Amino acid sequence: MTKYGEVQQHYGRIKNLVGGSFRDSQSGEMLPVTNPATGQTIAEVPLSTKQEVAEAVAAAKKAFLAWRETPPMRRVQHLFRLKDLLEAHLEELARIVTQEEGKALEEARGEVRRAIETTEMACGIPTLMAGRNLEDVAPGIDEHEVRQPLGVFCQIAPFNFPAMIPFWFLPYAVACGNTYVVKPSEQVPLTQSRIATLIQEAGFPPGVVNMVNGAKDVVDALLEHPDIRGASFVGSTPVARYVYSKATAQGKRAQCHAGAKNFLVVMPDADMRGTIDALISSIFGSAGERCLAGSVVMPIGLAYEPVKAELMGAARSLRVGYGLDPATQMGPVISRRHLERVHHYIEQGVQEGARLLLDGRDIRVPGFEEGYFVGPTVFDEVRPDMAIAKEEIFGPVACLMPARDLEEAIGVIEASRYGNAASIFTTNGGHAREFQHRVTCGNIGINVGIPAPVAPFPFSGMRESFFGDLHGQGLDSINFFTERKIVITRWAGKEYQPFRAKA
């Protein structure tokens, strides 16, 4: 182990997993994988070829016939083993997440835990996948529904949850009897690469789970492949829109989770201490790189002064540093390019007339001068028409936008193109009820800053934060990954007369 407990300093060239064996990509194109806290290259990831995508899909297709015939109770034995392996390797995986993504170690442990929880949920497939039946829909006629897997599914993952997000889909897809191709984010391929070795160790038959590394070309090759039956995507809104239209135009199923702009409304009656803790974690946790991250804080009336004062105090005292340092509360953003994007938004906020109360641009983290750090940043006097109030910044930037009353706040939220999450902080049930009833967002927090649904519930999303109808996770997954077949049965004829009860 090194000073900070990295699992390895350099992970070499990432391999693909095809048909049960790890293979070097034949592509000559490689991208560096960078530790965002140090700026150092820690691996190389291939931009795999169309041919390699075709080989992975062919391996998945070949594995499908036997896998779908494997009884669900036997299929989930592999997931039980995988769950145990993920538990046993939780700390190691969390350290890899932090090393490649940058988030603080405690947050990384939390996301690996979430991946374990979805695996546990999928272990219930023998019950969850069961169909329904109804006897005597007409005299002597019964009807029942069976759920069947469809074939090969694929997944296109974002950078910000290297362990958790691929597991919103993978365990359900294979538990239902489908076979799978994962394309991790090219910015963070290490966690899934390590998990792929655990998948092998869990004894899944060759070809049930495959992994192909790369970027846009791999995505296009997957979406154009005739044997891919459906795609799960998580990432930014423009790419989600592209993936959704391309997949559905080819007759594939698609569920595409997209970008966000999340609002946090604080009523004057809120419990201020708990609220500030929740705001800080929502806005600055994972350096603001969560699709549920709070971005615009709307204190109502008298809540404005205390929220501003407390938020500033708490933001100033956050310890920014390398996520593997136990003292760190907030790590770097993912890349130099993304750091520049966040800086650009801060500059734009200033140009548009917002008041910059705390500027995170000039932060220095001793010993990590090459890292991509943005300090906690707070704007005041933000107006709804400003870019920083409307667009996704995906960085540690709080925008204070005071509002007269709840009505005005709901009006601002409803004007947003996004609908991922919104939270209200209040001790008044009437306010909370009004908020949850009227706000067009998929995930609503009531005195909760990060309203992240747990495994039995779908991870929702509305408006331009989601394209599709069946979301990731929970029971939506079972519908997404199965086809329903309805069987109508009559056993009647000369030899057999249906039973009739005597009056």
Q: Which active-site residues does the annotation give?
A: 291
Residue 158 touches ligand NAD, criterion: CB under 6 A: yes
Only one of the segments 123-131, 181-189, 314-322, 485-493 lies at the binding site for ligand NAD (rule: CB under 6 A); that segment is: 181-189
Given the complex with ligand NAD, which of 253 and 471 has the nearer CB atom? Answer: 471
Binding-site size, ligand NAD (CB under 6 A): 28
Stretch that binds ligand NAD, among 111-119, 158-166, 425-433, 483-491 (CB under 6 A): 158-166
Q: Can residue 193 be called a binding residue for ligand NAD (CB under 6 A)?
A: no
Least distance from ligand NAD to the Cβ atom of residue 243, Å: 6
Question: Least Å distance between CB 484 and ligand NAD?
Answer: 26
Length of the chain: 503
β-strands 16-18, 21-23 pairing: antiparallel
Query: Of 395, 412, 405, nearest to 361 (Cα)?
Result: 395
Distance CA 341, CA 352 (A): 16
**Residue with nearest beta carbon to ligand NAD:** 235
The C-alpha angle 207, 68, 456, rounded to 5 degrees, equals: 95
Sequence-separated contacts (24+) of 63-68 with Cβ below 8 Å? 63/19, 63/179, 63/205, 63/206, 63/207, 63/208, 64/149, 64/151, 64/152, 64/178, 64/179, 66/205, 67/149, 67/174, 67/177, 67/178, 67/179, 67/205, 67/208, 68/148, 68/149, 68/177, 68/178
Quick one: which segment of 120-128, 228-236, 378-386, 480-488 binds ligand NAD (CB under 6 A)?
A: 228-236
Find the binding residues for ligand NAD in span 407-426 (CB under 6 A): 420
The span from the first CA to the last CA of the chain, in angstroms, equals 81
Measured CA to CA, the distance from residue 316 to residue 360 in angstroms comes to: 10
The bridge status of strand 483-490 relative to strand 141-148 is antiparallel
| 260, 265, 401, 439: residue in contact with ligand NAD (rule CB under 6 A) | 260
Q: Binding to ligand NAD by residue 185, rule CB under 6 A? A: yes
465 is a site residue for ligand NAD (CB under 6 A) = yes
Window 285 to 324, contacts with ligand NAD (CB under 6 A): 291
397-400/418-419 β-pairing:
unpaired
Backbone angles phi, psi at 286, to 5 degrees: 50, 30
Cβ density class 269-296: b for 16+ within 10 Å, e for less: ebebeebbebbbbbbbbbbbbbbbbbbb
110 binds ligand NAD, rule: CB under 6 A: no
Q: Considering the rule CB under 6 A, would residue 258 count as an interface residue with ligand NAD? A: yes
Give min distance, CB of 80 to ligand NAD, in A. 27
Stretch that binds ligand NAD, among 54-62, 142-150, 178-186, 352-360 (CB under 6 A): 178-186
Does 461 bind ligand NAD (CB under 6 A)? Our answer is yes
Q: Does 167 bind ligand NAD (CB under 6 A)?
A: no
Nearest-approach distance from CB 421 to ligand NAD, in angstroms: 9
Least distance (Å) from ligand NAD to the CB of residue 290? 7
Report the distance separating Cα 156 and Cα 197, nearest Å: 19
- Select from 394, 425, 435, 467 the one that contacts ligand NAD (CB under 6 A): 394
For the CB of residue 16, give the shortest distance to ligand NAD in the complex, in Å: 15
Residues with Cβ within 8 Å of 139's Cβ and at least 6 positions away in sequence, in order, are 498
**Using the rule CB under 6 A, is 245 a contact of ligand NAD?**
no
Burial status of residue 226 (CB atoms within 10 A of its CB: 0-12, 13-18, 19 or more): exposed
Minimum CB separation of residue 416 from ligand NAD in Å reads 13
Closest to 10 (Cα-Cα) out of 33, 36, 38: 33
Contact residues for ligand NAD (CB under 6 A)?
156-160, 165, 183, 185-186, 215-216, 219, 234-236, 239, 242, 257-260, 291, 392, 394, 420, 459, 461, 465
